[in-house]
Structure 1
Amino acid sequence: MKLTSKLFIVGLLATCIACKDGYIDDIQPAPAGVDKTPPEVTINFPKEEPLTWVPDEVMSINIDFNVVDDIEIQDIIVTLDGEGIGSYSDFKDYRKTAVKLPYDNITNGTHTLTVTANDISGKTTSSTVEFVKPENYVPLYEGEIFYMPFDDQYLELVSVSEATAVGDPGFAGESASGANAYAGATDSYLTFPTTDLTNDEFSASLWYKVDADPDRAGILVMGPPDEANPDSQNNRTAGFRLFREAAGTNQRIKLNVGNGNGENWFDGGTAADINPGNGEWVHIAISIAATECAVYINGEPVSQGTFPGISWEGCDIMSIGSGAPRFSGWGHLSDNSYIDELRIFNKALSQTEVQTILDNEQP
């Protein structure tokens, strides 16, 4: 036992000598230095632009800002419209801090947010942002005339109108961008009147997470009634039909457009295939100009070509999540897939514009 104790002491002394001789670096305290500059304050959110419109008169936001100082932050004060809503004086890192401050009483109108930081030498910096909670939705893109974000409701924000639910559609519990996407169900879909939507040029943009069961379905349809076949609607001389069909284990996106005297097909073949097994959100856009059409998947054109121009004769209903009631003759009925961020435009979108929307809404 005594021998063991002596060996331990010898080993401990050897370790201490090794440390003293430089095998382990000594900790050298760094001098604080001279406080030369005032704090830097950066407000990340909100920005000086309208907040995303919500139908409620009061909304919640997460105020997000950073403060950096060359020596030490003493305290931070946050005010909204002149009233204090947050203060901070205890920091894990006394030279920089990132703060997210929840605030649940943003009312309609203009608001002024100010973040003021003081350092230990008495230098002060204030950063101010003026932002707006709009009473009505403000379209984000040129020509945008319809926007349905599917945030737990079937509300179209430009007209502030509810879509009509047929059957029992629901919500996905996830989204491509936003709160909660549309979830299709058997014999279920949404309809919306086409008032102000049937223009010489037309585009639509949406996010789509495909469910391959059933093996074919309508996605977005604006078509006329088929008076000749009332029990099997399939009049394709006007409007358009965006739908999917099985292509082996994939699902192929297709577009059919009626020109008044007939129809034009825009089928991209394998380039327009989506693999349901990937379980991924895919961005789909269609662009209908006066003389040509294009279908885009994830920003890339998969089908495009010329045509005589679209006819809207008899197209008074838009279906979302099904071909019914105007495109049921080939079994393109309700879609169990998820749909999110549906936008409609009164212009033909270019590939650059499609890519911009995709980038802004990227899941």
Structure 2
Amino acid sequence: MKNELKHKTYSKMRHKWISLIAALALCLSACTEGYIDDIEFVEPGADNEAPEVTVNYPIEGTQIRVTEDVTSIEIDLEVEDDIEIETVIVELDGEEIARFEDFRDYRRFLGTVDYDNLTNGEHQLEVIARDLSGKETSTLVAFEKIEPYQPVYAGEEFYLPFDGDYTELVRIQTPTVSGSPGFADGVSGRAYSGAADAYLAYEAENLQSGEFSAVFWYKLNGTPDRAGLLVMGPPDESNPTAMNNRTAGFRLFRENAGGMQRFKLNVGNGSGENWFDGGAAADIDPGADTWNHIAFTIGTDQCTVYINGEVVSQGSFPGIDWTGCDILSVASGAPRFTGWGHLSTSSELDELRIFSRALSQAEIQDIMMEESN
């Protein structure tokens, strides 16, 4: 009986040793077959490479636009070294704002620095990384915080200069960009350059006032021969793929008129629509290749359309209804005014301003003269 018990105990221990040896063999096999990273032996003093520094944000030339004179910024950086990182120092305009000396991964560091006192003007960011052998790398990034835009004219609620981006400057809005629009030389700086199926869509609820005006410059490309320019309209649930609900908001567009391009305004009053079509007076020659100033005003009792400061259409009006008009489309009728084919324009557009009041003709002419000088 004792011999049998001793035999069973020996057998169990033997199985345990066999299992342990098998596990060790499996581990060694995994190491040699690449299941874990190889450990590379490094001779003492064989640190040959200086650290690599990458600044993910801000990048060279970044322009920061906010409505405040002082703002915060999150600096995003990465450092790698072949042996071991010793220190990472972050300086802004020559002043140290952060230092890192403890690293969980001694060869790679991913870090952020929150800085909450960024003022207007140009800035220089420097990230300095040093490894244990004393090798050092310094990376410089120049960027700028743009001074907040101050409206130039009374009642100016929206300003879009198109100077290299599509940021609206009064409230610092960035649009939803459809298609692939571009930029061209404008009346002032750069201008929007249209493309097929391209347009910009901005939030528009803050533009819904009892009076409304819009002014901008437009260099006409007659192809396609009809297009939307500015649209703030409601959804059309009956025609979701070809919207054309004209009971609210407005639609400014152009279309062929005997080889010329005629500019028209349609405004919804809640129970119906009102048209402002100046006929031949509102025509522009598509072959002229010149900048024209376009403007329209929506008052409580009258609407007016201007080309180059002159009235081309005017009429009485009961007042605008803004129900459902939460999107401003720039350079196309899409998505809310597509039922008649007034889609994107291939023309150029510059210096778009929107006002919460009905401008007078003299004010429109003053803006036109000021921007053209």
TM-score, structure 2 length as denominator?
0.61
Q: Which runs of 5+ in 2 are unaligned?
A: 1-62, 70-118, 122-144
Q: Which has the larger radius of gyration?
A: 2
Question: Residue 187 of structure 2 is aligned with which of 172, 176, 179?
Answer: 176
CA–CA distance in structure 1, aligned partners of residues 239 and 177 of structure 2: 25
AA of the residue aligned to 2:250: F
- Does the 8 A contact of 1:150 with 1:341 survive in 2? yes
Residues 248/54 of structure 1: CA separation in 2 closer, same or farther (3 Å cut) = farther
- Does the 8 A contact of 1:191 with 1:320 survive in 2? yes
AA of the residue aligned to 2:153: Y
AA of the residue aligned to 1:344: I
Q: Does 1:200 align with 2:210?
A: yes
What residue is the counterpart of 2:24 in the other structure?
none
Q: Does 1:315 align with 2:289?
A: no
Q: After superposition, give the CA deviation of every residue in 1:192-220 in whole Å (9 maximum; x if it has no partner).
A: 01031010000000000111000000000
Map 1:83-162 to 2 at 5 A. Answer: 108=120, 135-162=147-174
Q: How many residues align?
A: 237
Seq. identity, %: 62
- Does the 8 A contact of 1:206 with 1:284 survive in 2? yes
The alignment partner of 1:359 has SS state of helix
Q: After superposition, give the CA deviation of every residue in 1:265-299 in whole Å (9 maximum; x if it has no partner).
A: 00010010011111000000010000100000000
- Does the 8 A contact of 2:205 with 2:325 survive in 1? no
CA–CA distance in structure 1, aligned partners of residues 177 and 239 of structure 2: 25
1:315 shift after superposition: 0.3
CA–CA distance in structure 2, aligned partners of residues 188 and 249 of structure 1: 24
The alignment partner of 2:280 has SS state of helix
1:54 shift after superposition: 8.8
AA of the residue aligned to 2:242: S
- Does the 8 A contact of 1:289 with 1:347 survive in 2? yes
Question: Residue 228 of structure 2 is aligned with which of 213, 218, 221?
Answer: 218
Large movers: runs of 4+ above 6 Å: none
AA of the residue aligned to 1:153: D
The alignment partner of 2:332 has SS state of coil
TM-score, structure 1 length as denominator?
0.63
CA–CA distance in structure 2, aligned partners of residues 354 and 273 of structure 1: 19
AA of the residue aligned to 2:347: S
Q: After superposition, give the CA deviation of every residue in 1:43-90 in whole Å (9 maximum; x if it has no partner).
A: xxxxxxxxxx99499xxxxxxxxxxxxxxxxxxxxxxxxxxxxxxxxx
Q: After superposition, give the CA deviation of every residue in 1:18-60 in whole Å (9 maximum; x if it has no partner).
A: xxxxxxxxxxxxxxxxxxxxxxxxxxxxxxxxxxx99499xxx
- Does the 8 A contact of 1:54 with 1:137 survive in 2? no
The alignment partner of 1:196 has SS state of helix
C-alpha RMSD of matched pairs (Å): 1.9
What residue is the counterpart of 1:242 in the other structure?
252
User: Which of 224-233 and 257-266 deviates more?
Assistant: 224-233
